[in-house]
Structure 1
Amino acid sequence: MENKKEIFADGIGQIHFAGGMVRFDFVTLQPGEDGAAPTPVVNERIIMPPQGFLGAFNSMQQLIDKLVEAGVLTKNENAK
């Protein structure tokens, strides 16, 4: 794995299901003109089968649990 490529994203603009696949549109924030708020622009798309999505979700949930345990994140008990 010598040719590693890193991708930066400010966040996920949209997640949708089409053609039997889960699609993540990753965005970066681009500066607005004359001090306007930054605009999210799609720069990468990841497409995976539902099983891959579930595996990724499980991995993210495990990381969230570790971050809560470490005190990096706190649960919002008032969330509905």
Structure 2
Amino acid sequence: MLHPALEPELIEPERERRRHVQRLIAELETMAGDERRHDAKFTLLCANVRRHIREEEAALSMVSPPSVASRAMEVLTR
């Protein structure tokens, strides 16, 4: 269990990143592909997903042997 004093510092930033990605997806779902801001929003969404994958890879590599972490990322990125 996380100490309550640490929760805002550790959990809230992750919640905000998740909400940001959810907003981007919702906006993209309502936009036509040729709208002026579509490409910028899509690029930002991709960057967020890539960062999340790197963070997950780093976390996996800290708690499991490299072969297990590598296999887990293969499954997650299908």
TM-score, length-scaled by structure 2: 0.31
* Structure that is richer in strand per residue: 1
* Structure that is richer in helix per residue: 2
